[in-house]
Amino acid sequence: MKPRRYPPVAAMTAAGQTGVVRDIFTTVHGRYDFLNHLLSLRRDVGWRAVAIGRMSFPRTRRFLDVATGTADLAIAAARRHPGVRVVGLDFAAPMLEVGRRKVRVAGLSERIELLEGDALALPFPDRSFDVTAVAFGMRNMPDKLRVLREMARVTAPGGQVMILEMTFAPRPLFRPLYGFYLGGVLPRLARLFARNGATYFYLGDSIRHFPAPPVLASLMRQAGLQSVSWHRLTFGTAYLHIGRTPGGF
């Protein structure tokens, strides 16, 4: 297979980036979990657990995992919150196929449903979920405000909207090391293990271009969310943002 090349994120149009993202996640699915754990040094598992530990389900008892991919967040949330029903949504059918197998193996098919769809137009009525989250997916969505508005719309009053993402906002002492990892180590590791090595040039590049925590928080407020907070994870290599929809108790 001819190696692919993707343009830098800064040079992509919104439609161009969405095309690249679709291309990546319809080719990487078979190795996604392995590479995700390897390249994040398995921190992704702990970061999802932090988000899941902060979720609460007082009303609808339903959770929406936007850009669910291979359903890691959906499965971990269902295990941690036994009475909750989960919907995972993604536009890459091959990722969902891997996810469906994992859901079956975990014995959670009764509680987790995986659907093909676009985060820009969530196929759910208003106020359907207590918690709506996206893990490591927001970086791939050029129109972040539109996605956040959709997430806020389908979240019940007083519910939580969570964004978990790898970012390039580390503590100052850690910055050179992390910069070297993203620009030097990560693409080399990827070339060894991924069939589509260009994917991991895109990964490092998209992490560097993700908005800094206060900028993402301000987008969340623009989307109508309140009490927005952010939580630094592993020296600032990832952040969890949480906002609440207005209303509630």
Give contact residues for ligand SAM (rule: CB under 6 A).
Answer: 21, 25, 36, 67-69, 72-73, 90-92, 95, 118-120, 135-137, 140-141
Nearer to ligand SAM, 73 or 151 (CB): 73
Residue 69 is classified by DSSP as: T
Q: Are strands 238-244 and 226-233 parallel, antiparallel or unpaired?
A: antiparallel
CB of 120 to ligand SAM, least distance (A): 6
Q: Tell me which residue has its CB nearest to ligand SAM.
A: 69
Nearer to ligand SAM, 130 or 150 (CB): 150
Structure-token match 């890459």, residue found: 92
CB of 46 to ligand SAM, least distance (A): 12
Backbone angles phi, psi at 23, to 5 degrees: -60, -45
CB of 173 to ligand SAM, least distance (A): 27
Nearer to ligand SAM, 91 or 235 (CB): 91
> Are the C-beta atoms of residues 114 and 74 closer than 8 Å to each other?
yes
**60's tokens:** 């609808």
Nearer to ligand SAM, 59 or 146 (CB): 146
Nearer to ligand SAM, 73 or 225 (CB): 73
CB of 136 to ligand SAM, least distance (A): 4
> Are the C-beta atoms of residues 230 and 213 closer than 8 Å to each other?
yes
Q: What CA–CA distance (Å, rounded) separates 210 from 239?
A: 11
> Are the C-beta atoms of residues 77 and 52 closer than 8 Å to each other?
yes
Backbone angles phi, psi at 141, to 5 degrees: -115, 110
CB of 138 to ligand SAM, least distance (A): 9
